[in-house]
Amino acid sequence: MIPIRCHKLSVAFGTLRAVDELDLVVEPGAIYGLLGPNGAGKTTAIKSMMNIIGRTSGSAEIFGRDSRQLRHDDFTRIGYVSENQDLPTWMTVGYLMRYLEPFYPTWDNERATQLLRLFDLPLDRSLRHLSRGMLMKAALASSLAYRPRLLVLDEPFSGLDPLVREELIEGMLETAEESTILVSSHDLGEIETFASHIGYMDRGRLVFSEEMSVLTTRFREVEVTIAEPADLTRDPRWPDRWLRPEVSPAVVRFIDTAYDPELTPAHVRQLFRGVRDISARPIPLRTIFVTMARNSREFSKGVAA
């Protein structure tokens, strides 16, 4: 059963289309990183998938069921943690865990104890007196204790110090073998270390969705050493998939978003005279993100002009 499937999911607030015909599939066992700049629609999409806010059109299914028709037994299989999540702050950490236990048939007390120890959470301290990082750890511990089949994390690492992020990721990955995980985050360096799939949203639309291994293979920084000064970046033959060009008299650099070890060099030699050397190297997820975001911003400025 597919954990998450969205088809042309749209959410509008007046004239603002926050999510625009989103088609998204999260396969069983995936650790899916949903990326995009601020305002891309990630949080709105996730909240609509979880039926926290309504949709304007389209569909969203969780384990094959319309998310608007989820029942109690469905929620016992879903863990949800958000950076803006409301928690009963009058409860202590221990009381919160005891309070939640009867609602979840799969609640594992041994697992709960392990998580509390891993996160170094004080059982007798009220939630209102916890730091933001500790609150996030309490929310994650309470979601992981019943071993959910689907774990949804919306910006769980935002603003946290490196140690807390590391502890949250460690707790999350301990459940990865038995769960499907969807995580929205700006901590690209962290996402890169564990995500199996990446989706990139911009202005409400899903620009691409693919396996991490495929993504990091097709994005390459290409450097071309040439014998003659040239600037073909304004040439109509310059491919749209070659982004962020940098040109000097002897060197041209660009990001190829669809690198092919045979076709890309051949295309380079067609455009540039006196090619002496062509090199291509992989780039980190952060560079991919920045490249896509800057290209989108430049495109928007061009349209507005």
> What is the per-residue pLDDT for 177?
81
Q: Which distant-in-sequence residues (6+ apart) come within 8 Å of 116 by Cβ?
A: 93, 97, 123, 141
Q: What is the pLDDT of residues 26-49, one digit of tens each?
A: 999 999 999 988 889 999 999 999
100-114, 185-199, 209-223, 269-283: which range is least confident on average? 185-199
pLDDT category of residue 99 using cuts at 50, 70 and 90: very high
* Mean residue pLDDT across the chain: 89
pLDDT above 80 for 300? no
Q: What is the pTM of this model?
A: 0.87
Domain 4-210 has CATH 3.20.20.140: no
Q: What is the per-residue burial (b if ≥16 Cβ within 10 Å, else e) of 161-183?
A: eeebbebbbebbeebeeebbbbb
36 phi, psi to nearest 5 deg: 155, 155
Say which residue, 178 or 31, is predicted with more confidence.
31
Q: What is the mean pLDDT of residues 78-98?
A: 93
Residue type, 75: F
pLDDT above 80 for 229? no
Contact 233, 247 (CB under 8 A): yes
How far is residue 158 CA from its own chain's centroid? Answer: 13
DSSP characters over the chain: --SEEEEEEEEEETTEEEEEEEEEEE-TT-EEEEE--TTSSHHHHHHHHTTSS--SEEEEEETTEEGGG--HHHHTTEEEEETT----TTSBHHHHHHHHGGG-TT--HHHHHHHHHHTT--TTSBGGGS-HHHHHHHHHHHHHTT--SEEEEESTTTT--HHHHHHHHHHHHHTTTT-EEEEE-S-HHHHHHH-SEEEEEETTEEEEEEEHHHHHHH-EEEEEEESS----TTSTTS-TTEEEEEE-SSEEEEEETT--TTHHHHHHHHH-SSEEEEEEEE--HHHHHHHHHHHHHHHHHHHH-
Q: What is the mean pLDDT of residues 178-199?
A: 87
Instruction: Calculate what percentage of the chain has a pLDDT beyond 90.
Output: 64
Residue type, 114: Q
Q: What is the pLDDT of residues 56-83, one digit of tens each?
A: 999 999 999 999 999 989 999 999 999 8
53-57, 85-89, 270-274: which range is least confident on average? 270-274
> What is the per-residue pLDDT for 233?
58
Say which residue, 122 or 186, is predicted with more confidence.
122
> What is the per-residue pLDDT for 235?
65
How many CB atoms are closer than 10 A to CB 128? Answer: 12
> What is the per-residue pLDDT for 109?
95
pLDDT above 60 for 303? no
